[in-house]
Amino acid sequence: MIASIVLGTFGIVGTLIGMQCSKIGGENYVLKGRIAAIGGVFFILQGLCTMIAVSWYAANITQQFFDQFYAGIK
């Protein structure tokens, strides 16, 4: 989840810099488009990291629930 937060932050920064209405990066719209696309890639990677972390946690909870020898509270 920490990697997901970091990738999301990079995605937001890249997308904000890549917007055509922003003054950051000058008037080179080709470069801005590429930066915005890289921001989108960061958002996709963020989604994948989040999906992996949530699925992993859910699998651990399910495994502990169905374990007969688990000493914790069900």
3-state secondary structure the chain: CHHHHHHHHHHHHHHHHHCCCCCCCCCCHHHHHHHHHHHHHHHHHHHHHHHHHHHHHHHHHHHHHHCCCCCCCC
pLDDT of residue 54: 96
pLDDT of residue 20: 86
Q: How far apart are CA 17 and CA 58, in angstroms?
A: 36
Q: How far is CA 63 from CA 3, 9, 15, 59, in A?
A: 25, 33, 39, 6
The predicted-structure confidence for 22-69, as pLDDT tens digits, reads as follows 888 788 889 899 999 999 999 999 999 999 999 999 999 999 888 888
